[in-house]
Amino acid sequence: MAASARSGVFGGTVMSEAPLLQVEALSFRYEDMTMVFDLTLGRGDCLAVLGPSGAGKSTLLSLIAGFEKPLAGRVVIAGQDVTARKPADRPVTSLFQEHNLFAHLSAEENVGLGLDPGLRLDAAQRRAVAEALARVGLGDFGRRHPAQLSGGQRQRVALARSLVRDRPLLLLDEPFSALDPGLRLEMLDLVRQLQAERGLTVVMVSHNPQDALRIAGHSAFVYDGRILAAGPTRALLEAREPAELRAFLGPEPA
């Protein structure tokens, strides 16, 4: 699969199977900037969305998640048109850069919200919460509050919640960019493992090409509200085309 650019530069999508995510001529206006996105993503793929700040990366994610209403266009997930659906009714889980957890609730409760928005859990659900926390390496931390956890542990709790929600599409909006390099790589690897285990489809916004190389088979370069280039991550980063991508990546190491 590949993300396709509207202009047709990278048109002609190769599909291995029925796509999990289709974004069709999705347009949005923010102040003076008009954005139009087209994107297709196969089941089980991981796409990194790269680009300078203010290019519209996070807006693309917000449109897919349903936080923003598009002017026109469609979002199709797993064959269903979800454009008119509320965020909670879409088969999507989002992970933000911060404020993923409620500070006054424990790690368990934060994960439990993924199962029941009223936090009334039965025994089986409580077991599922404990299992999810154990899976992200926080088996003993259920009772702790976010303030008693490190930045990386907090994002693990949020990942555990995405596991119990069990939605096929995971949207990551730079959730690890505030972490130390080693920790960031650890988290990226954890995402990759979970993706493989659960067959998740992942879209990750990042401004760091290293992140893309680490976990994303494919990448799309967003600039000024458009996907300017897309393709297999390594090929895209080595081609360094168009000029905007070259400028974004900076001078080549000598």
Partner 1 sequence: MPWWLPATSALCVVAAVVGGALVALGVAAPGFDIAGNLDDAYLWRVVWFTVLQASLSTLLSVALAIPVARAMARRQFPGRGLLLRLFSLSLVIPTIVAIFGIAAVHGRSGWVNDVLVLLGIGRANYLYGLTGILIGHCFFNMPFVARILLQAIESVPPESWRVASQFGLRSRDLFRLIEWPAMRTVLPGVAGLVFMLCFTSFAVVLTLGGGPKATTLEVAVYQALRFDFDLGRAVTLALVQLLLCGAIVLAVLQLAVPGTTALTEGRLYERPDTGGRLGRAVDGLALLLTGALVVLPLIAVAVAGFNATAAEVLARPALWHAVGQSLVIALSAGTLALLLGGAILISSRSLRHRLGRPAAAARLELPASLILVVPPFVLATGLFVLLRQVADVFALGMPLVILVNALMALPFVVRFLGGPMMEEAQRHDRLCQSLGIAGWNRLRLVEWPGLRRPIGLALAVAATLSLGDLGVIALFGSQDFATLPLLLYQAIGGFRMTEAAVIAALLSLLCLALFLVIEGGLGGLGAFRGLRRHRHV
Which residues contribute to the site for partner 1 (CB under 8 A)?
Answer: 65-67, 86-89, 92-94, 96, 98-105, 113-114, 117-119, 145-147, 154, 165
How near is the Cβ of 72 to partner 1 at its closest, in Å?
Answer: 18
How near is the Cβ of 139 to partner 1 at its closest, in Å?
Answer: 21
How near is the Cβ of 144 to partner 1 at its closest, in Å?
Answer: 11
Helix H, strand E, coil C: the string for 39-102 is EEEECCCEEEEECCCCCCHHHHHHHHHCCCCCCEEEEEECCEECCCCCHHHCCEEEECCCCCCC
Q: How many whole angstroms separate alpha carbon 155 and alpha carbon 38?
A: 29
Q: Which is nearer to partner 1, 148 or 193 (CB)?
A: 148
How near is the Cβ of 65 to partner 1 at its closest, in Å?
Answer: 6
Q: Which is nearer to partner 1, 105 or 134 (CB)?
A: 105
235 CA to centre of own chain: 21
Q: Which is nearer to partner 1, 99 or 234 (CB)?
A: 99
Asked if the bond preceding 242 is cis, omega within 30° of 0, the reply is yes
How near is the Cβ of 91 to partner 1 at its closest, in Å?
Answer: 12
The two tokens of residue 170 are: 């995971």
CA distances to 6, 79, 149, 181, 227 from 20, rounded to whole Å, are: 19, 7, 34, 31, 19
CA atoms within 13 A on the CB side of 160: 30
Q: Which is nearer to partner 1, 21 or 65 (CB)?
A: 65
Q: Which is nearer to partner 1, 167 or 214 (CB)?
A: 167
